[in-house]
Amino acid sequence: MEDEKALEFRALTSQWKQQVTDFFEELKDAGDYKYFHPHPLTAKEAEIRCNYAGNDIYYISVEGKQILGYGMLRGWDEGYEIPSLGIVIHQSARGIGLGKTFIHFLHVIARRKGAKRIRVKVYTENVVALKLYEGIGYKFHAAEEGQKIGFFNL
């Protein structure tokens, strides 16, 4: 029998369009767009990401049909060797290690795709994310427009 509450990481596909649209809406309502805005959090963008076919990576963390987190590795499409990682965890699923686990999962994908380093951009006042990345071993080198740039050697 299928486990309706199974915890999984899933590649985004069109079957998730409605859930992703709702998830983006909830992120906006919670004010998360302030720290997480790789693209607008609109229904149109949800559709684009769910139908995306390319070299970049868009994944969700789900519990059954419920989305708990959204993560990505981008830059390959634009020809960069070092992908940029972005991640957001739903407010209701924070503080239990999902963000850290998701990042390590994305690192495995990056290694499988031959990447040697990962880049992140984090707002200087986003202390939770900075602590998380630094705890994993990211080194932050410089700041531009209020954001720190960090790298992790895979």
Ligand X SMILES: CC(C)(COP(=O)(O)OP(=O)(O)OC[C@H]1O[C@@H](n2cnc3c(N)ncnc32)[C@H](O)[C@@H]1OP(=O)(O)O)[C@@H](O)C(=O)NCCC(=O)NCCS
Interaction site with ligand X (CB under 6 A): 32, 35-36, 86-89, 94-100, 122, 126, 128-129, 131-132, 135
109-112-114-117 Cα dihedral, nearest 10 degrees = 40
Alpha-carbon distance 118 to 120, whole Å? Answer: 7
Contact (Cβ atoms closer than 8 angstroms) between residue 124 and residue 143: yes
Nearer to ligand X, 15 or 108 (CB): 108
Nearer to ligand X, 14 or 137 (CB): 137
DSSP string, 45-58: HHHHHHT--SSSEE
Output the smallest distance, CB 89 to ligand X, in A: 4
Output the smallest distance, CB 37 to ligand X, in A: 9
Nearer to ligand X, 50 or 88 (CB): 88
Interacting residues of 60 by C-beta distance below 8 A, sequence separation 6+: 9, 10, 12, 16, 20, 23, 67, 68, 69, 70, 71
End-to-end Cα distance, the chain: 38
Nearer to ligand X, 11 or 96 (CB): 96
Q: For residue 139, give the 3-state DSSP assignment.
A: strand
Q: Which residue is nearest to ligand X (CB)?
A: 99
Output the smallest distance, CB 2 to ligand X, in A: 26
Output the smallest distance, CB 4 to ligand X, in A: 22
Output the smallest distance, CB 135 to ligand X, in A: 5
Nearer to ligand X, 14 or 128 (CB): 128
